[in-house]
Chain A
Amino acid sequence: KAGVTQTPRYLIKTRGQQVTLSCSPISGHRSVSWYQQTPGQGLQFLFEYFSETQRNKGNFPGRFSGRQFSNSRSEMNVSTLELGDSALYLCASSLAGSGGASDTQYFGPGTRLTVL
């Protein structure tokens, strides 16, 4: 079974631009979560999507948004980029059965975003 894939792997943008990151979950997984990893703040939860609906949300400004498609693939968008948005963005998928919080999350390799 193929793992979680994220595209692109590397991205360079300038301040003020917007960016869209893509995540394809493991086949059969219905939940997709996004995390931001930075040296200063560590790993922080952005949001989780399940059945095309945002089910959980972290403490990030509205510039960060996402969506999930009917095939469970997910995209994350960041508008009006700031220097502080430079980070590794990780996507994780899980089966999201009845015990959602206990599900193992499988992480992709991440997208490295650099904002200049």
Chain B
Amino acid sequence: AQSVTQLDSQVPVFEEAPVELRCNYSSSVSVYLFWYVQYPNQGLQLLLKYLSGSTLVKGINGFEAEFNKSQTSFHLRKPSVHISDTAEYFCAVSPIKAAGNKLTFGGGTRVLVKP
């Protein structure tokens, strides 16, 4: 079984400041890692995913994440946020050898960007 912990439920940040959202996971098997964003009254949109290779993954809208296998972490960062980045962010994992899709999500981190 897998579990995902997002260490901050809410993160207030000023516009143009950097932000880091922390994600730790637990799994007895190897997993793929994902970050999704949910804007108000919308579904989820993929920001980035780690499958293999370089541990630094770049995604859309200037976001990047670093996979750390020894710490079982996959933290998301953006060097300079915009008002439009106000949303809820979800970290998720999926077992590599699973047949098909079965995402396990963290509890989410609400990011509020202040002017």
Contacts and interface: CB of A to CB of B under 8 A. Distances in A.
B46 A100 contact: no
A101 B97 contact: yes
Interface residues of A, number: 28
Contacts of A90: 43-44
Contacts, number: 77
Interface in A89-116: 90, 92, 94, 96, 100-110
A40 to B, nearest CB: 10
Nearest to B45: A107
Interface string B82-102: 000000001010111111111
A109 B49 CA distance: 21
Interface of B: 32, 36, 41-46, 49, 51, 90, 92, 94-108
Interface of A: 4, 31, 33, 35, 42-45, 48, 50, 55-56, 58, 90, 92, 94, 96, 100-110
Given A43-B92, A43-B108, A101-B101, 6 more contacts: A33-B101, A56-B101, A96-B100, A102-B96, A108-B43, A110-B43
